[in-house]
Amino acid sequence: MFEGLTKMFRKQSQATRALVEMTLGQPVWTTRNYANFAKEGYGSNVYVYACVRQIAMACAGIPWLVYRTANDGTVEELESHPLKELLNGPNPWQGGSEFFESVVGFLMLAGNSYIEAAGPENGPPRELYVLRPDRMKVIAGNSQQLIAGYQYTVGGITVNFKPEEILHLKLFNPLDDWYGMSPIEAAARSIDQNNESRAWNVALLQNSARPPGALITEHELQPDQFERLKEQINHEFTGAKNAGRPLLLEGGLDWKEIGLTPAEMHWLEGLKLSAREIAIAFGVPPELIGDNANKTYSNYKEARQAFYTETVLPLMDSIKGELNNWLIPKFGDKRLYIDYDRDEIEALQEDREAVWRRALEAVKNGIITPNEARVMLGYDEVEGGDMLMMPANMIPLTVMTGEGVNEE
């Protein structure tokens, strides 16, 4: 079946060839239920909501910068450029911060995020749009082009996109060649446990925080008597407003309280454990989402620094690389590149100041040149900055005492 196509294959990965032959021209649907992730996770669990918001808002708050590399290797930051204007105002309905909050939010919820570039066919894009991942599917291609395109379906209308029109950001997924894996999927059981623990606690509170019990009778109740008794109990003796109301028993009825099991008494421990597991799946320190019972750092400042260093910056580096590979060719200038402004991250200000101090000491002691220090700190080299410096008061002791100095 595939002999003719196989002869046309260029030299390439055998694994890629097998994947193409298996899925050639077929839509590849995600097997995960995004609606459940959004509803049961983000919409119903406070810890998932807090984690997604923390990561999305942190990434959205970091400004993007545009640079151009000159022929002599020097780098210039461009204060005004169409690419920078595009990142700051992607479309008429969203500013840059809101746009990237949506990009990262979808990435955390679905493991996938899609950006559409809109503009003239042979020119740079003028607008960028975030597309809902549950409406998008990937169309497998061939060995020449692994992805043939994308299909976006909403309200029964399907729009086809060329591969270059869509940037597909995805998290690593060991079980799928086309779609990423959301942290919610890894934490699904912990989220269910957390939701059920909260639901159990609410039910207990609605029952006046009393353990369950049973009404015992010496003789069999008629169906109408049973229904009347059940309705009376539900109406007059359950809920917070009926807390403490005495239960009057007659006709040989007796109330027997059923104690809570040890497992039920330890629901709070299960709640704490599941909250910690959810935070771990997203890479957010528990104290940043209000879970002080599972603190992993001595103070809030350390937790913030670790959050940016271990979660936000790696994610920003990944997004930066994908944006550069996708957007720069559309502007026709290979000397351009995008980066984010690390100096605007307040949580890392203390770390940055420490780097500055070390660089300054290294320059003062003649270990590195001023230009090497500038490059290390993210600044351009300057003329005359390639000489090693040495403090004037640092001279050999023998020179001060006169020992070992030849006198003529």
What is the pLDDT, as a whole number, of residue 70? 85
> Which residues fall within 8 angstroms of residue 33, CB to CB, at 6 or more apart?
none
Work out the average pLDDT over 156-162: 93
What is the pLDDT, as a whole number, of residue 2? 38
Helix (H) or strand (E) run with residue 179 in it = none
Quote the pTM value: 0.72
What is the pLDDT, as a whole number, of residue 142? 77
Least confident of 230-234, 310-314, 334-338: 230-234
d(CA 381, CA 375): 7
What is the pLDDT, as a whole number, of residue 342? 86
What is the pLDDT, as a whole number, of residue 7? 41
pLDDT in tens, 102-144: 999 999 999 999 999 998 888 899 999 999 999 999 998 877 7
For the chain, the structural domain boundaries read 3-183, 213-258, 345-401
What is the pLDDT, as a whole number, of residue 368? 83
What is the pLDDT, as a whole number, of residue 10? 41
Residues in a beta bridge with 217: 253
Q: Computed from CA positions of residues 381, 385, 387, 393, in that sequence, does the dihedral angle turn out positive or negative?
A: negative
What is the pLDDT, as a whole number, of residue 8? 39
Average pLDDT over the chain reads 78
Whether residue 3 is predicted with pLDDT greater than 50 in this model: the reply is no
The rounded percent of the chain whose pLDDT value lies above 90 is 36
Find out whether 320 and 340 touch, Cβ atoms under 8 Å: yes
pLDDT in tens, 8-60: 334 445 544 554 455 555 554 434 577 877 888 888 888 999 999 999 999 99
What is the pLDDT, as a whole number, of residue 211? 53
- Among all chains, which residue has been given the structure tokens 């994947």? 19
Residue 78 Cα to chain centre, angstroms: 29
Whether residue 401 is predicted with pLDDT greater than 60 in this model: the reply is no
Higher-confidence position of 5 and 167: 167
Token pair, residue 96, equals: 């840059």
CB atoms under 10 Å from CB of 94, counted, come to 17
pLDDT in tens, 346-373: 877 776 677 778 878 788 777 888 888 8
pLDDT in tens, 265-312: 566 677 788 888 999 999 999 888 876 665 666 678 888 889 999 999
Strands (E), 37-81: 64-69, 75-77
